[in-house]
Amino acid sequence: MMPAIDPTKKYQTSNGGDTLPVLCAYSTATVGANRQLVAAQTGKRIRLMGWILQANGAGLSGVTFKDGNGGSTLCLLNITPNTNGANDKLPIVDSGYFETTAGNGLYADIATTDLLATIFYIAYVP
């Protein structure tokens, strides 16, 4: 029998036991390149744990999540407009989805229409 693996063990505080809290950042990202969603933290990686996204206007909103200002692409998706609430939800999971390199914030390129974004993340020292 294989032992169970706890994916949160990678994301512990420096005291070696406490699991890091999931933080939340909200932003209205306007159309354009390099829109900051989560600010960089010195020496820490930003690990995306989940999101709630909504296109804020007419037309499809293309979103490219990036590793820092002008950095490499982490994820690419399209959000369909919806005036009745969130268009795209990614549930919070223990292992998260993707992360920036240490010292970089989470940025996005937004196409066509503004984006309302609630980002759930942790910031940890690799």
The full DSSP string for 28-83 is EEPSEEEEEEE---TT-EEEEEEEEEEE-SSS-EEEEEEESTT--EEEEEEE---T
Q: Residue written as tokens 């959000």?
A: 79
Q: Convert the pLDDT of each residue in 69-120 to its tens digit.
A: 989 999 998 777 666 555 788 899 888 899 999 999 999 998 888 888 999 9
Q: Over pLDDT 90: what percentage of the chain?
A: 44
Torsion of CA 11, 14, 19, 20, to 10 degrees: -70
CATH code of 23-124, in short, is 2.60.120
Say how far apart CA 48 and CA 122 lie, in whole Å: 7
